[in-house]
């Protein structure tokens, strides 16, 4: 039996990222400063939007939006069951019980038609998720809200997976009222830990300067950042709100700035690896290919969520174990939220979300990252095929 030593999703870092971090460390200024502002500018340019706010994680980005927009009971917020817990945890942080909506059948994306049924007079926002980097049909949601005269509902896209994805010819980042991105270590573009909010309207809902409000709210409500306070005579400041503490540091931004210069090439490599997987799997009668490029949307190729036709959850788990024994790690994205203890205690049941369960039960995520070699990708997909067909033959 051949053995491998292939990681699942390591960061793609070069000497250039290391050198940029060293430059920051030697500068004497390592927390939020000029590198963060430069990174924000570059992210906004890349996403073709007016503003970007860099923070410590995508989770904190969602927390920050909900804090600044003052979501609170009896407000209702609609979201999907098929996402990482941070999407809905941030709603719970505001004392609001999420209104979960099932997926569209045979899709990883929320069912837009079911969103309509979930909207009430208390609905304040809808938080959608671009699973695996596949953009939602943002215009379809806009058209739905226009049709029912509820354009007051705030659209937030958890685009943690979708940095670099495109929708109708434009980069994802300005289609919803707010987009949130993750730059965690396993994401396409990393800052080790980090995230960002992107948006177009700096006077959203009558705000005088939304960017400024996000910035000071991310610093415990403090009107001056540490760099400004450190200047001679700059010690005085005010506290304007009971803010959070989720600013990005210059160390993290230094990594991100270099990653941005390499990012288009990294995306091309991910797309090429995806083609290798798809070419090997497309003629298998049991393989449900996760996505194809079309004229309106292109994924960011963050994940390769293969589904296996007529497979049970137990069979899928057996395949994972077989592959693990030979040194090929795979994963599952995601366990639907109603299957977790915390959400069960809130009264949710997976039985109410059959489409989400069906997507989960036979889903297998293959390793996909820009430093993965072509040879390793070919080995991975061949071993995946062997493992699946071995289990199917039993």
Task: Name the residues annotated as catalytic.
Answer: 187
Residue 338: both structure tokens together:
């109603």
Do 276 and 374 form a contact (C-beta atoms < 8 A)?
yes
Residue 152: both structure tokens together:
């007051």
Residue 65: both structure tokens together:
């939006």
Do 278 and 385 form a contact (C-beta atoms < 8 A)?
no
Q: Render 328-352 in DSSP notation, one character per residue.
A: ---B-S---GGGSHHHHHTT--GGG
DSSP one-letter code for 153? S
Backbone angles phi, psi at 287, to 5 degrees: -90, 125
Do 87 and 115 form a contact (C-beta atoms < 8 A)?
no
Pairing of strands 76-80, 51-55: unpaired
Residue written as tokens 């000071």? 216
Q: In what order do the strands lie in the sheet with 123-129?
A: 51-55, 195-199, 178-182, 154-158, 123-129, 76-80, 99-101
Of the candidates 69, 89, 70, which has an alpha carbon nearest to the alpha carbon of residue 79? 89
């Amino acid at each position: 039996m051949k053995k491998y030593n292939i990681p699942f999703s390591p960061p793609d870092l070069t000497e250039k990222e290391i050198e940029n971090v060293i430059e920051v460390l030697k500068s004497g200024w390592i927390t939020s400063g000029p590198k963060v502002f430069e990174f924000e500018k570059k992210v906004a340019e890349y996403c073709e939007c007016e503003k970007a706010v860099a923070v410590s994680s995508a989770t904190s980005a969602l927390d920050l939006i909900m804090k600044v927009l003052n979501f609170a009971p009896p407000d209702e917020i609609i979201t999907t069951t098929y996402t990482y817990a941070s999407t809905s945890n941030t709603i719970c942080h505001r004392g609001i019980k999420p209104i979960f909506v099932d997926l569209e059948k045979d899709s990883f994306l929320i069912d837009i038609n079911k969103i309509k049924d979930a909207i009430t007079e208390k609905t304040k926002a809808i938080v959608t998720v671009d699973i695996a980097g596949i953009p939602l049909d943002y215009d379809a949601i806009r058209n739905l809200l226009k049709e029912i005269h509820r354009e007051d509902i705030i659209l937030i896209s958890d685009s943690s997976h979708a940095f670099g994805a495109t929708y109708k010819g434009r980069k994802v980042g300005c289609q919803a009222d707010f987009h949130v991105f993750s730059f965690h270590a396993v994401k396409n573009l990393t800052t080790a830990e980090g995230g960002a909010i992107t948006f177009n309207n700096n006077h959203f809902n009558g705000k005088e300067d939304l960017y400024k409000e996000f910035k000071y709210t991310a610093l415990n409500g403090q009107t001056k950042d540490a760099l400004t306070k450190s200047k001679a005579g700059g010690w005085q400041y005010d506290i304007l709100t009971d803010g959070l503490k989720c600013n990005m540091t210059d160390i993290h931004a230094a990594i991100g700035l270099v990653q941005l210069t390499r990012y288009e090439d990294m995306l091309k490599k991910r797309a090429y690896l995806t083609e290798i997987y798809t070419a090997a799997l497309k003629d298998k009668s049991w393989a449900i290919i996760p996505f194809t490029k079309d004229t309106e949307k292109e994924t960011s190729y963050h994940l390769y969520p293969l589904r296996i036709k007529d497979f049970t959850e137990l069979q899928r788990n057996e395949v994972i174990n077989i592959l693990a024994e030979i040194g090929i790690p795979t994963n599952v994205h995601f366990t639907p939220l109603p299957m977790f203890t915390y959400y069960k205690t809130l009264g949710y049941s997976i039985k109410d979300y059959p489409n989400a369960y069906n997507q989960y039960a036979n889903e297998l995520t293959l390793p996909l990252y820009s430093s993965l070699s072509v040879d390793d990708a070919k080995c991975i997909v061949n071993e995946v095929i062997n493992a699946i067909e071995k289990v199917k033959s039993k």
